[in-house]
Chain A
């Protein structure tokens, strides 16, 4: 009895020590998160309630209700994010599937080409699209000299150009998790399906596809959330008519010379993003997705 209690207290002491060590080891990261995340976000909330006269006020939020442009800007932001995500899935899924069927060595080479764009600045890639897609750009020039179309097609300074640029930039964020999930699928399942008489198509849709969906959801969520805060690409390729929230934040800082007017937009965007994540978590297991999608 006494032996056991000594043992138990010893175990408890060890456990406390262990916890303290863990806390000690994680404290730099905790402090970092506190300093660079929690405090600034709290400050953002606080500043968004400060009016132009420096007093507590709801004017920054009232303005967003009163002026129709804010609603439309949020609508555009979510519309572009959804469309970009959808297009990324349509383009990225087949590519990831193709890569997952290749021998590992060749697949790795393909993976490097997918990652290659990351080595070039986002700004450079965005301007490259401008050069390619504009009225007298390469695409229009070639297509017209080949007789594909007679008049230059408007592919940039509008929604089309914005989507092309954003899909190009976001694609790797979708392909990587989808590819990871596909690689993890055991080939024996497909063989078993074939063994039971399923056609390749049936085996894909009933076995492979459902097993790959966690990767798709993880990639889609990442792309969607990243799109919500996009600035450079819509600003350059949207022609000033495609206005996303981040662009309005910048123009409000310049216009009102007042952090509150911009902070309120940041707060609303953040709350909407959290809401999207929360809704997603109702239907999907976020933790499982973050864990690599098994």
Chain B
């Protein structure tokens, strides 16, 4: 018995030294079809090319990272995150700054990376409408979304502040490029919230998830909603009468970050450099209708013109949209969300 324990111990020690020589990273994402797409397009091919062993996990978001970092037991090397929560986690000191000498972002859209998080895919917050309800003319701007005279019908809107204030200001006549400077004060935030108050009698549902806003359109429960473009594409594939526009949409992205004190920090940096290359990113749209963050991915010939026309980050579509300002979210999100909740509970 004793010998067998001794042997096991020795074997474990040997195995761990052997593993330490091989490079490996642990990546956490959100599971489901999203992680499957990332795995097939990015993680697996990059692991094969670099020889870095990849262990995939699912996790519950930045609160998990906070727990790991504050307890000093960090097991994750790379986490997939929303851009906004990554910005806040970075400001809180939960993430390692990324080394852009290692990760080549020269052909990235400049707004799709930050000090702590490098963009992995691009999505849009759009307005979508029921094509049975609006047969003659479709809404073409946020002002149309607010115009219940020309476009009568019920609306759905997000139940959280993220991506909710920018459309309201654009509907109130603020030019897209001025939106974040107007929002840079409590008065500006209140102005946007007041605009939502104005529409509130026509808002039947404040949605809380992508699955929910897709279902609302599928069931015809509301005639117009805000939401994430990929979900509407999937709903339309399932036969939902739904269309959306990229005009004045909010261009946002998911990104990859390295938790503070990650066990394989340098390997993780190397791996992020690999999956940020155009040759991997151009495969992503095969599995999910989210666009690459690396502009060069459009030039490799893998993404057809037809597919590109439907992706949020295609140069034509990106030009129509307002990129999300992470600085604004890092500075204002908690305050703005509390103010938003006051409007919701009135």
Interface residues of A (CB under 8 A from B): 63, 67-69, 72-73, 76, 134-136, 154, 157, 235, 239-241, 243, 248, 251, 253-258
Contact = CB atoms under 8 A, between A and B. Distances in A.
Contact of B205 (A69, A157, A256): A157
B183 interface: no
Contact of B344 (A63, A135, A240, A255): A240
A258 B346 CA distance: 26
Given A154-B204, A157-B204, A235-B208, A136 B89 contact: no
Nearest to B208: A240
Contacts of B221: 134-136, 157
Given A253-B63, A257-B62, A257-B89, A136 B220 contact: yes
B338 A63 contact: yes
B224 to A, nearest CB: 14
B84 to A, nearest CB: 11
A67 B89 contact: no
Interface residues of B, number: 28
B341 A254 contact: no
Interface in B73-102: 85, 88-89, 92
B61 A254 contact: yes
19 contacts: A68-B342, A68-B345, A76-B345, A135-B220, A136-B219, A157-B204, A239-B204, A239-B205, A240-B159, A240-B205, A241-B344, A251-B337, A253-B63, A254-B63, A255-B334, A255-B337, A257-B63, A257-B66, A257-B88
A3 B342 CA distance: 78
B345 A69 contact: yes
Nearest to B89: A257
A157 B334 CA distance: 26
Given A68-B342, A135-B221, A257 B85 contact: yes
A240 B341 contact: no
Contacts of B207: 240
Nearest to B94: A257
A69 B207 CA distance: 18
Interface in B320-346: 333-334, 337-338, 341-342, 344-346
B134 interface: no
A243 B160 contact: no
Interface string B126-163: 00000000000000000000000000001000011000
Instruction: Return the 9 tightest CB-CB contacts between A and B, nearest first.
Output: A240-B206, A240-B159, A72-B345, A69-B341, A239-B205, A69-B342, A69-B345, A157-B205, A136-B220
Interface in B40-82: 61-63, 66
Given A240-B207, A240-B208, A241-B206, A134 B345 contact: no
Contacts of B219: 134-136
Contacts of B62: 257
A254 B346 CA distance: 22
B89 A255 contact: no
A243 B345 contact: yes
A72 B334 CA distance: 19
Nearest to A259: B63
Interface in B207-221: 207-208, 219-221
A270 B346 CA distance: 24
Contacts of A251: 160, 337, 341
Contacts of A256: 334
Contacts of B346: 72
Given A135-B220, A135-B221, A255 B206 contact: no
Given A135-B220, A136-B219, 12 more contacts: A67-B341, A69-B344, A72-B345, A157-B205, A157-B221, A235-B208, A239-B204, A241-B344, A243-B345, A248-B341, A257-B63, A258-B66
Contacts of A255: 160, 333-334, 337
Interface in B20-54: none
A88 B193 CA distance: 38
A63 B89 CA distance: 21
